[in-house]
Amino acid sequence: MAKKNGNDKSIEVTLWDAANKLRGSVESAEYKHVVLGLIFLKFASDKFEEHRAKLIADGKEKYIEMADFYNMSNVFFLEETSRWSYLIKKSKQNDIALLIDTALHTIEKNNKALKGALPDNYFSRLGLDVTKLASLLDTINDIDTTKDPKQDVVGKVYEYFLSKFALAEGKGKGEFYTPKSIVNLIAEMIEPYKGIIYDPACGSGGMFVQSVKFIEAHHGNKKEVSIYGQEYTNTTYKLAKMNLAIRGISGNLGEKAANTFLDDQHKDLKADFIMANPPFNQKDWRGENELIDDPRWKGYDVPPKSNANYAWILNMVSKLSDNGVAGFILANGALSGGGDEYKIRRKLIENHLVEAILVLPQDMFYTTNISVTLWILNKNKKAQTKQIGDEVRQYRDRENEILFMDLRQMGEPFEKKYTQLSETDIRKIADTYHLWQSERTRPVETWHAASLREQEYANTPEYCYSATMDEIAKKDYSLVPSKYIEFVNRDENIDFDAKMKTLQNEFADLLKAEAQSKNDLINVFKELGYEIKL
């Protein structure tokens, strides 16, 4: 969390308390845009004022109202009526909502990078209580977003709020946010270090933020990655653009919010890394005769209209570069469905694209309590050399293997009713995966998990198993991990086959007894001259 204020509350918590005062008059799904829009406005204004002071100190005072002298330093130019200092002076006026809308509109108009990013006539439309809005402005005014750049105060506040809003909105909403520990796990596994990163259902942009954090943690250069994404919901599209802008991340999210299937904003894209959490089990994602000949399905059957899971998979496969890797979340049903899904899944496996399947713990998502799966697809599972920072790895040929992992026993409590993976969990999982991939030319001291430093990869009961293509074919191309991972019998004195047979016999006896009782009752009534049916 960011630093604490004088009341021993973190800035995030103080802001959240202030934001909650808006509840009642504004739904949580709405007021997140109010709060995050204002946080962005404060951040942009602080950066502007800091750069303005620098220009003056450097003797360039005559340039302080020229946009080019801000844009060249990746600072947004703000006209006087868009600056936080101007708004805070007017915060008690009845027209403050209109003034905020005008400020945001003017900022977007003057900065091409923010096109389509900021709330449009949002504050005026909501009819916010002036007193509560003024109180929120006063609270946000206490944040100095530029005081300690290393702390990334505004980024932490933004991330905290996205998480809290997702929790507040709960099941059926909150799709704009993927829990942080899941995003961290995907990044640590596919290691988006250099190249093009794509998310076809990018929500508020969390996958991109974590990718950049991964790069920075491994002493890479974020200028060596290009960000591409797409988001269907307009308000969430704006959240993503603001999220990237706050972090100083350049990204191409398309010209507008749009449906990835019906209006692909990146048709010719080939990505080195894909990270995604698309909607689960999306129904009626296309019309009966729509997208039948779409090039994204080339070489595969057309994904069924009834469920978009395999449409998302094939969209991502079509966008992978020759060495591309994808990590994405899907509902567990995609592991074993029949019909067209079976045909597509079998071909994905036979084409050596599926590299790893990981079942995640339950209750990790705020929108559903079902257990879900992390898929890793890899366009190049052959032996190769890969460099991450100063580290060079020699990968072995894995074309005829798929790694299965069961993580349902991992995790720690989060926000009382949810589960999250701990940092230790994430390190162990990622190290297991990379151990399985590698020829072990990597120095042992570089492995995160101490338990893995002195061993080769090994199948582990109730945790992981490397299955061959022959084994998968014998299981009829099912990707359900429990069909491959060994489960330990913790009471070896029990003959489970014999126990099951006994239970089956007892159940059969009960059914027979019930049938006999029904016949006896029918006969009694028949003797009395009545015909009955049971």
Tell me what pLDDT residue 309 has. Answer: 96
Tell me what pLDDT residue 196 has. Answer: 97
Residue 514, CA atoms < 13 Å, CB-side half-sphere: 7
Distance CA 251, CA 265 (A): 13
Tell me what pLDDT residue 411 has. Answer: 92
The helix or strand, by DSSP H or E, that contains position 226, with its residue range, turns out to be strand 225-229
pLDDT for 458-494, tens place per residue?
Answer: 999 999 999 999 999 999 999 999 999 998 765 555 5
Tell me what pLDDT residue 150 has. Answer: 58
**Domains annotated on the chain, with CATH:** 11-169 (1.20.1260.30), 180-483 (3.40.50.150), 494-534 (no CATH)
Distance CA 488, CA 459 (A): 13
Distance CA 465, CA 382 (A): 19
- Of 222, 210, 356, nearest to 275 (Cα)? 210
Mean pLDDT along residues 430-439:
91
Check if the beta carbon of residue 309 is closer than 8 Å to that of residue 276: no
- Residue 54: how many other CB atoms lie within 10 Å: 13
pLDDT at 57 over 80: yes
- Kindly list the distances between the CA atom of residue 382 and the CA atoms of 298, 322, 328, 386, in Å, as whole numbers in the listed order: 23, 12, 21, 12
Tell me what pLDDT residue 530 has. Answer: 65
- Of 463, 474, 369, 477, nearest to 418 (Cα)? 369
Strand, helix or coil at 195?
strand
More confident residue, 368 or 436: 436
Percent of the chain that is helix, strand, coil (3-state, to 5): 45, 15, 40
Distance CA 251, CA 221 (A): 15
DSSP count for the chain of H helices, then E strands: 16, 13
pLDDT for 13-24, tens place per residue?
Answer: 777 777 777 666
Query: pTM for the complete prediction?
Result: 0.82
Check if the beta carbon of residue 463 is closer than 8 Å to that of residue 485: yes
Distance CA 480, CA 527 (A): 56
387 residue type, one letter: Q
Please list the residues that pair with 10 across neighbouring strands. Answer: 4
Distance CA 486, CA 481 (A): 9
- Long-range contact set of residues 408-412: C-beta below 8 Å, sequence gap at least 24: 408/359, 408/360, 408/361, 408/362, 408/371, 409/361, 409/462, 410/361, 411/361, 411/364
Please list the residues that pair with 226 across neighbouring strands. Answer: 196
More confident residue, 155 or 104: 104
Task: Identify the sign of the CA torsion 28, 29, 32, 34.
Answer: negative
Distance CA 430, CA 405 (A): 11
Range ranked top by mean pLDDT from 119-133, 155-169, 289-303, 429-443: 289-303
The residue behind tokens 């779409």 is: 294
Residue 515, CA atoms < 13 Å, CB-side half-sphere: 6
- Of 173, 172, 169, 189, nearest to 181 (Cα)? 189
Which of 332-341, 386-395, 458-467, 520-529 bottoms out in mean pLDDT, i.e. has the lowest?
520-529
Question: Residue 304 has what DSSP assignment?
Answer: P
pLDDT band (50, 70, 90) for residue 269:
very high
- Residue 460: how many other CB atoms lie within 10 Å: 13
pLDDT at 190 over 80: yes
Query: What does the mean pLDDT of the chain come to?
Result: 85
